[in-house]
Amino acid sequence: MNTGELTDLGQQLRVDSVRAAAAAGSGHPTSSMSAADLMAVLLAHHLRYDFDRPAHPGNDRFVLSKGHASPLLYSAYKAAGAIDDEELLTFRKLGSRLEGHPTPQRLPWVETATGSLGQGLPVGVGIALAGKRLDRTGYRTWVLCGDSELAEGSVWEAAEHAGYEHLDNLTVIVDVNRLGQRGPTRHGHDLDAYARRFQAFDWHTIEVDGHDVDAVDRAYGEAASTKGQPTAILARTLKGKGVEGVQDREGLHGKPLPEAEEAIAALGGPRDIRVRVQEPPAARMLHSVHTGNFELPKWDKGEEVATRNAFGEALTALGTGRGDIVALDGEVGDSTRAEFFAKEHPDRYFECYIAEQQLVASAVGLASRGWVPYAATFAAFLTRAYDFIRMASVSGSGINLVGSHAGVAIGQDGPSQMGLEDLAMMRAVHGSTVLYPCDANQTARLVGAMAGLEGVRYLRTSRGESPVIYAPDEEFPVGGSKVLRSSGADRLTLVAAGVTVHEALAAAEALEQEGIAVRVIDLYSVKPVDRATLRRAAEETGCLVTVEDHHPEGGIGDAVLDAFTDGRPVPRLVRLGVRTMPGSASPEEQLRASGIDAESVAAAGRLLVEEAVVR
Amino acid sequence: MNTGELTDLGQQLRVDSVRAAAAAGSGHPTSSMSAADLMAVLLAHHLRYDFDRPAHPGNDRFVLSKGHASPLLYSAYKAAGAIDDEELLTFRKLGSRLEGHPTPQRLPWVETATGSLGQGLPVGVGIALAGKRLDRTGYRTWVLCGDSELAEGSVWEAAEHAGYEHLDNLTVIVDVNRLGQRGPTRHGHDLDAYARRFQAFDWHTIEVDGHDVDAVDRAYGEAASTKGQPTAILARTLKGKGVEGVQDREGLHGKPLPEAEEAIAALGGPRDIRVRVQEPPAARMLHSVHTGNFELPKWDKGEEVATRNAFGEALTALGTGRGDIVALDGEVGDSTRAEFFAKEHPDRYFECYIAEQQLVASAVGLASRGWVPYAATFAAFLTRAYDFIRMASVSGSGINLVGSHAGVAIGQDGPSQMGLEDLAMMRAVHGSTVLYPCDANQTARLVGAMAGLEGVRYLRTSRGESPVIYAPDEEFPVGGSKVLRSSGADRLTLVAAGVTVHEALAAAEALEQEGIAVRVIDLYSVKPVDRATLRRAAEETGCLVTVEDHHPEGGIGDAVLDAFTDGRPVPRLVRLGVRTMPGSASPEEQLRASGIDAESVAAAGRLLVEEAVVR
């Protein structure tokens, strides 16, 4: 296209953005209008993409980090012939694929859900890592960011990662329209302020007038041909560009234009330009899923093994068997044991340093390209990435997260290092799976099972050693549980997972000595929970004590109650968990202080059974 | 002190760090040894601090961002005479004040709990903001960071904030020892790599040999006299400095030295140097708590008001009455209505732009200086700051967080903007309070009540308007609830909060028409929960239906169960919540699609009552 045609295409994208928002009665047309020329040039001249084959391995990848500019994205889809005008006008309506913020669950051309700002570039870094280190089909990753979102630290984690990894297949286009939601940004139209920052993180930068289509065209060409560095294009634009009284004005964020018809006329009225988007080059994926037979590691009953070690060994074995498994570390691989995988499969190991948001975002990016990522750090530090985990579930992303050093059982390091909110956090994620093994063989099986699940999967591992209690060939279906002790005379059920399984077993032994028969359930699948087994235990024993190395809210106790919230009779229940703020102490002292050691469990069980009898 | 004395003091801090870790059998001596000279010079020549009066308004503020180097901190306390040698050797033991990572809950000289990396600088920015804009007593904030933690995005959020705000009362000292936990950092000893980054964010930088005490002394002096910019001192150091076989070696992170006795000898043996720390200048706090009478805003029953508006108005009124109230915004003040406060009290309003980690960290910093912060953004985006919220609770920090746009009721914007995990996340925080009002008068009262609570307080507000159902003089104690309908014939209790209160009321009305008398409880205090009222309802009506605009895990349904996990009989219960991934749709369509509108509530209640009868 020539200059005039590109300019016309930009105007069409503006007009369609205005129309879509007007039809919806909500949305962000002004944020779309600032970036319309940037999008027009990208679509017409630089993006290599087959809209009929979104899974084509040679396709470039485009991420709209400023997800609220969805009218622009959908207008571009229309210009590319991927959707029609009728669908464009379903924007934001019930059942429409065109949501307020784009998601891959609805649209095959969307790489990742956006709408929480500062996430597009980190996920784009994950995609570019896949492209450069694994897929190697030559695709380019383009990320369109707003200027406001550059205040998010996650953007600079991503900038650091991309610069260090020399991701020259990555371009970020920053739509510097100088206006955030509530007013001006910190740096206004000072492109140099942004350029200095990206340069400091070893990026190539280009400053450009974002409404000069020829200059933008040249900038994209320069970005694509820059070697050894990612490129940031800082584009000076005007919010609401092209409509007098709207352009560059505060107070018009996230609203349909006040006079849509007049605005459309001012923009030259509707057009019907169709863009022939460049075909991607022929390419095939390098990875094959099955690369050979493999066996998960096995341990003998009675061995003392930390579940974190079992995770490391199992993941390594899984990686030997499956070429699509990748591992990511947040600079604690020696603690989480992810480093075992690194030694065996260095080509599929991603060191993310101490940057948990980028750790999870890289996993999301890799998963979007068909890889099966396991990202591991301390359970406590996954809280740093909660917004990314939440958004991964909006994307329907299939990622495995592994949190080690769970609970007070870590001992002396104290509360900053203890995952005590992770079960609550992960259970509340839509469609998530939450697993918490108590021995090495169980851990290995669950590590293997996770790979085949949908959605966000979470495995909680422990720092200290614990005895192997299961045979190596035991099966652990997700959604199941294990009844470790039971008899017809059981008057109480103890429900535990992870480290507290061993405490519960000891408590049961003690109570048995006193003549109280006790059932013990290992609830290794915290979500989904094994309703049938819990209900049977409730019916047969009447009393339940749950015990967990986690704050009482949202963890195993609440998961157990999931089995009883459909109106059926509920057992008498006591929920043990960490109710005080721990300090430093030995693991044994910690369990005792929190009232989740064998003695405390036995005491709670005894009291519940006695009270049940008295009543 | 002269060069030799300073050097000796550094050696003493090393020796004591080695001794403390040896006594504990765990800890991070090598990370302490790299920064020992940096700490020695600070303590002896630059820090102005009265250890007998930690609340002295003129005291400088020191934050150990690399919290694992706690042996160094405690050794410094010993050198300053704040603790004795006997206490030093209680390090990491049960009941000791000297935890693995320092917390202000145990030690009066600690400003904020650290141990989750990348948090010290952001909180330091909050303290420096307080110093510069509010306290104005001339104190300086010193933050000692590791190099590994500079990979955290939160550090660059903080750098951006500090540079933009010209916080020349803030100095960050980076202990560039080139080794992280599992191996080398990205940039090793390339001080310039770090300096470039800080400079890009408008900081003054100084590169220095971190073991040259005179050079360090000059650098601190330069930092203290630099005007208009914060200063970053990049100090080249060696991990494990001073002990051959340990110094600059990998694989020795987080472990006592292998040969402690020999190491101590190599370091010149124990010393007993006492430092006379500089007195702070005489100073008094500028703020007074009560600046005048004020009245919370009031609305008439039947008015339609969004609770977010009520929050904005109530906070503004509170700010008029109390001079210690401050407000913080994450660039969405026009949405959360925090901007109402900005208009009235611009001097006490902190714009944090789109940087939720810094938003919460600033609140923690301000709270540490005695201010009462309210930090507001969308409920969904508070997930970005979960690690900071978790650590705030470890600190025992008194902060108010306000999350607007909760739940599917926001409508068209879609799931990225919907807070659907926030109640679970906030309930799981130790010692937190979680409030969720359903009308404007209730909101205003709760905004006022929050100010006087301990720990992390969370208020959840709604985007859309809802009818005022309470009289302006109604009281809403934290930990209470309101029974909105009841009779002796109730066969069912509906428990709701926020938007679902109105749905529950309509459902109760419909069921009443069918001859089913229904109790309705407004559970505005989600944590702590009103156990007595819930238990009474269970005893009197037998059946409970909970309904919440939140995922079912960890929210209101689980909060209700809190009342029944002490072994007492549990009512039959059905828990309604958002069980599918929402898309874009109108608020009414969203409530219906999620099964939490009046009709769905009535249907669930009817079924439960009928089943209860059948059984």
pLDDT band (50, 70, 90) for residue B289: low
**Closest-CA residue in chain B for A553?**
B428
Q: Where are the alpha helices (DSSP H) in B369-498?
A: 386-395, 422-427, 440-450
**Interchain CB distance below 8 Å, B116 and A554:** no
- The string of DSSP letters for A454-478 reads -S-EEEE--SSEEE--S-TT----T
The angle that helices B3-24 and B213-225 make with each other, rounded to 10 degrees, is 100
Dmax (CA) for chain B in angstroms is: 90
Partners of A170 in beta bridges: A141
**Minimal Cβ distance to A567: which of B554, B593, B611:** B611
Decide: B244 and B271 in contact? Cβ < 8 Å. no
* Per-position b or e across B408-424, b if 16+ CB within 10 A of its CB: bbbbbbbbbbbbbbbbb
Mean pLDDT of B413-431: 97
Residue whose token pair is 């306390």: B77
Answer yes or no: is pLDDT of A129 > 90: yes
B23-42 pLDDT, tens digit each: 999 999 999 999 999 999 99
Contact status of A582 with chain B (Cβ, < 8 Å): no
Burial bucket for residue A94 (CB in 10 Å: 0-12, 13-18, 19+): middle
A96 touches chain B (CB under 8 A): yes
Angle at alpha carbon of residue B213, lines to B35 and B47, rounded to 5°? 70
Contact B542, B572 (CB under 8 A): yes
pLDDT, tens digit (0-9, with 9 covering 90-100), for A359-372: 999 999 999 999 99
Taking CA–CA distances from B389, the nearest residue in chain A reads A383
Q: Measured between CB atoms, does A555 come within 8 Å of chain B?
A: yes
Q: Is the pLDDT of residue B615 over 60?
A: no
* Inter-chain CB proximity A583 and B339 less than 8 Å: no
- Structural contact between residues B378 and B366, judged by C-beta atoms closer than 8 angstroms: no
CA distance, residue A324 to nearest chain B CA (Å): 25
Q: Which residues are CB-contacts of A45 (< 8 A; sequence separation ≥ 6)?
A: A1, A6, A217, A220, A278
Which residue type, as a one-letter code, is found at position B574? Answer: V
- CA gap B79, B40 in Å, rounded: 9
Residues 6+ away with beta carbon under 8 Å from A547: A494, A495, A496, A500, A503, A504, A556, A576, A577, A596, A601, A604
Chain A residue with Cα closest to B414:
A100
Residues 312-351 of A with CB under 8 A from B: 329, 331-335, 339
Give Cβ neighbours of residue A347 (< 8 Å, ≥ 6 apart).
Answer: A133, A134
Work out the average pLDDT over A318-322. Answer: 95
CB-nearest to A428 from B154, B424, B593 is B424
Confidence of residue B47 (pLDDT cuts 50, 70, 90): very high
Cα separation values, B236 from A107, A407, B35, B286, Å: 50, 36, 10, 39
Comparing CA positions, the residue from B225, B526, B163 lying closest to residue B379 is B526
Whether residue A613 has pLDDT greater than 80: no
One-letter amino acid of B517: A
Cβ–Cβ under 8 Å, residues B573 and A567: yes
CB contact under 8 A, A152 and B113: no
Q: Do B573 and A570 touch (CB under 8 A)?
A: yes
Which stretches within B406-561 are classed as H helix? 422-427, 440-450, 499-513, 531-541, 556-561
A392 touches chain B (CB under 8 A): no
- Nearest CB among B148, B425, B427 relative to A354 is that of B148
Q: Which of A534, A573, A552, A580 is nearest to B558 (CA)?
A: A552
Chain B within 8 Å of A51 (Cβ-Cβ)?
A: no
Closest CA to A579 of B532, B427, B456: B427
For A124-193, the three-class secondary structure string (H helix, E strand, C coil) is HHHHHHHHHHHHCCCCCEEEEEECHHHHCHHHHHHHHHHHHCCCCCEEEEEEECCECCCCECCCCCCHHH
d(CA A269, CA A29): 15
B 143-162 near A (Cβ less than 8 A):
148-149, 151-158, 160
Distance between B420 CA and the closest CA of chain A, angstroms: 8
pLDDT per residue over A211-239, tens digit each?
999 999 999 999 999 999 999 999 999 99
Tell which of B178, B354, B546, B601 to mutate to test the A interface (max A CBs under 10 Å): B354
Q: Please, which pLDDT band fits residue B291 given cuts at 50, 70 and 90? A: low
Instruction: Report the predicted TM-score, pTM, of the whole model to 2 decimal places.
Output: 0.98
**What's residue A375's pLDDT?**
98
Tell me if A604 sits within 8 A of A545, measured CB to CB.
yes
Residue A574 and residue B569: Cα distance in Å, rounded?
11
Written as one string, the DSSP assignment of A36-105 is HHHHHHIIIII-B--TT-TT-TT--EEEESSGGGHHHHHHHHHHTTSS-HHHHTTTTSTT-S--SS--TT
Kindly tell me the burial class for residue A131, based on how many C-beta atoms sit within 10 Å of its own C-beta (0-12, 13-18, 19 or more): buried
The interface predicted TM-score (ipTM) is 0.98
- Asked if B355 and A152 come within 8 Å (Cβ–Cβ), the reply is yes
Residue B614 has pLDDT above 60, yes or no: no
Please tell me whether residue A541 adopts helix, strand or coil conformation.
helix
Nearest-by-Cβ selection for B115 from A152, A181, A414 = A414
Token readout for B263 is: 């190491």
Q: What pLDDT does B294 receive?
A: 82
**Which helix (H) or strand (E) element contains residue B99?**
none
Catalytic residues of B: 356
Mean pLDDT over all residues of chain B?
96
- Residue A262: other Cβ atoms inside 10 A: 13
| Mutate which: B527, B565, B609, vs A, most A CBs within 10 A | B565
Are the CB atoms for A500 and A578 separated by under 8 Å? no
Q: Model confidence at A566, in pLDDT bands (50, 70, 90)?
A: confident
Q: What burial class does residue A257 get, using C-beta atoms within 10 Å of its C-beta: 0-12 exposed, 13-18 middle, 19+ buried?
A: buried
pLDDT at A611 over 90: no
Do A564 and B583 make contact, defined as CB atoms within 8 angstroms? no
The share of chain A scoring above pLDDT 70, in percent, equals 98
Residue B30 burial (10 A CB sphere; 0-12, 13-18, 19+) = buried
Residues 349-378 of B with CB under 8 A from A: 353-358
Percent of chain B at pLDDT exceeding 70:
98
CB B596 within 8 A of CB B545: no
A-facing residues of B in 452-481 (CB < 8 A) are none
* Number of residues that make up chain B: 615
3-state DSSP of B515-534:
CCCEEEEECCEEECCCHHHH
Contact B585 A26 (CB under 8 A): no
Report, as an integer, the average pLDDT of B304-311.
98
Give per-residue pLDDT as tens, B142-158.
Answer: 999 999 999 999 999 99
Q: A99, A149, A339, A356: which is the annotated catalytic residue?
A: A356
Q: Is the pLDDT of residue B527 over 60?
A: yes
CA-nearest residue to A572 within chain B is: B567
String of DSSP letters for A333-352? HHHHSTHHHHHH-GGGEEE-
Partners of A178 on chain B (C-beta within 8 Å) are none
Beta carbons of A148 and B584 less than 8 Å apart? no
Q: What is the three-class DSSP state of A412?
A: coil
pLDDT at A615: 47
Which chain A residue lies closest to B339 (C-alpha atoms)? A182
Measured between alpha carbons, how far is B615 from B601 in angstroms, rounded to an integer?
21
Residue A614 reports pLDDT greater than 60:
no
Tally the C-alpha atoms within 13 A of residue B201's C-alpha that lie toward its C-beta.
Answer: 24
Question: In the beta sheet, which residues pair with residue B544?
Answer: B493, B573
- The pLDDT confidence band at residue A484, using thresholds 50, 70 and 90, is very high
> From the list B24, B117, B381, which residue is nearest A412 (CB)?
B24
> Does A100 contact chain B (CB < 8 Å)?
yes
At A144-184, the pLDDT tens digits run: 999 999 999 999 999 999 999 999 999 999 999 999 999 99
For residue A545, the model assigns a pLDDT of 97
Q: What is the pLDDT of residue A283?
A: 85
The Cα B471–Cα A328 span in angstroms is: 55
Question: For chain A, what's the residue count?
Answer: 615
| Crossing angle between the packed helical segments B386-395 and B356-368, to the nearest 10 degrees | 10
* Backbone angles phi and psi of B314, in degrees to 5: -65, -40
